[in-house]
Amino acid sequence: MNSDSQPREELTAQEAKFSEAYAAHQAAGLNLDLTRGKPSIAQLDLASGLDGILDRNFELPDGTDVRGYGGLEGIPEARALGAELLRVRPQEVLAGGNSSLTFMYLYLMHAVFYGVTGDRRPWSETSGGPVFLCPVPGYDRHFAICEDLGIEMLNVPMTGNGPDMDVVEGIIEDDPRIKGMWCVPRYSNPSGESYDDTTVERIATMLDRTAPDFRLMWDDAYAVHAIAGAPAPLKDLMQLCRGKGGEHKVIQFASTSKITFAGGGIAFLAASEENLASFKRRLSVLTIGPDKVNQLRHVKFLNNIDGIKAHMRGHAKILRPKFECVESRLRENLGNRGMGTWTTPEGGYFVSFYTLPGLAKEVVRLAGDAGVKLTPAGAAFPYGEDPEDSHIRLAPSYPELEDVDKAMQVFVTCVALASVRQRLEAPT
């Protein structure tokens, strides 16, 4: 747009052109959805072999019949798989049902209402209320858990290599109410960035300075979810913390939701054995054990970390063209125009787009009115409030490639139209 220097007539002409393009999109009667990070049918098909894989053999090597009751921690073979995925010891892993989100909620609920190992005072009794650091943009369901449990959230900016540790260290120093922090260290939801070595090292060092009941919620949801190139390396935080007390402050999560079946996978929680002992006391009240039959299906289907990695190459192959399509539509139409910036992730499920300040809601509205549903603006921020009204999360995994392409054509038109209109409305 070349902003300030652009003559008004030129802006008016652009507005007319984009309006016309937008009207054409509206007339097309589209019904497309880029809202959530869901695997497509083709991706789900990669794991169809899960169903029936047991061939009615339900016995583990140790004699356990997986159809029966019991086994609060999950079957040993599933715990071992989770341990490989999260790079910890099998005895530090709980293998659960279909959702790491449930593990996260239950872990924080136990902390809020009952306290954690190291400090048995419930977080809810924190003077002034408990607080969590939330790197933004982040995962809306993380923030919903905090909101539900009465944990106040403080935004921390992301740098492209993880959270801004200058900010984190400063806040931690200042505020004893801070009980924890959310992290998605690889292909972060929704920016797609991965934490670099320095960031992870600074997190490990920081943990030494936190209170004994501080908990880092390390959601490695996209550990093996490379789309392009080699998987992102990630410094092993737990390894850095071991023997220094920090190992009791790291709670790690992963699941197979975006590896096998989104709604029928298995989840993992990894933490120090002391942490697990405390959490298991609570867990044993609400369940006799997870669905071990489905855990055994997963073990038979995935085998080990190498099996997972091989399987994930199939996902990458399906996802790559969709992400390339998003990138190329953005670059072609919005590159170097001063109408916004975006991330080009090498893994995960999302692209983050940043409009000019104050336009995210308007772009989402325009797209919606033209039949392209986007995640509500602000959703990636605590309380749904993006202070800049600038961030939009694009999730191209679920629709067919041609629909991603159509949706992106609408999207870039909406961004251009909103940007030009903003310029026109600005006081001269």
Binding-site ranges for its own copies (CB under 8 A)? 36, 38-39, 41, 44, 47-48, 51-52, 54-56, 58, 65-71, 97-99, 101-102, 105-106, 109, 113, 141, 144-145, 148, 257, 261-264, 282, 285-294
Nearer to its own copies, 98 or 199 (CB): 98
Q: Closest separation between CB of residue 73 and its own copies, Å?
A: 13
**To the nearest whole angstrom, how small is the minimum distance from the Cβ of residue 62 to its own copies?**
15
**Strand 93-95 to 267-270 pairing:** antiparallel
β strands within 76-205, DSSP E: 93-95, 131-136, 152-157, 178-183
Q: To which residue do tokens 């310029």 refer?
A: 423
> Least distance to its own copies from the beta carbon of 415, Å?
28
Nearer to its own copies, 147 or 273 (CB): 147
Residue number with CB closer to its own copies (96 or 162) = 96
**Of residues 52 and 243, the one with the C-beta less far from its own copies:** 52
Q: In degrees, to the nearest 5, what angle opens at C-alpha 346 toward C-alphas 396 and 145? A: 65
DSSP 215: E
Q: Which is nearer to its own copies, 70 or 176 (by Cβ)?
A: 70
- Smallest distance from its own copies to CB 74, Å: 11
Q: What's the chain's length in residues?
A: 428
Q: How far is CA 332 from the centre of its chain?
A: 28
Cα–Cα distance for residue pair 340/325, rounded to 1 Å = 17
Q: Residue 8 or residue 121: which is nearer to its own copies going by CB?
A: 121
Shortest distance, CB of residue 54 to its own copies, whole angstroms? 5
As measured in angstroms, the least distance from the Cβ of 287 to its own copies is 5
**Of the two residues 14 and 256, which places its CB atom closer to its own copies in the complex?**
256
Half-sphere exposure of 240 (CA within 13 A, CB side): 18
Nearer to its own copies (CB atom), residue 288 or residue 424: 288
**Shortest Å distance, C-beta 397 to its own copies:** 11
Is residue 377 a contact partner of residue 364, using CB atoms and an 8 Å limit? Answer: yes
- In eight-state DSSP terms, residue 246 is G
The rounded distance, in Å, linking the Cα atoms of 355 and 419 is 8
We find the least distance from the C-beta atom of residue 18 to its own copies, in angstroms, to be: 34
DSSP assignment, residue 91? G
Helix (H, G, I), strand (E, B) or coil at 204: helix
Contacts (Cβ under 8 Å, ≥6 apart) of 233: none
Task: Please count the other Cβ atoms lying within 10 Å of the Cβ belonging to residue 337.
Answer: 14
Sign of CA dihedral 170, 175, 176, 178: negative
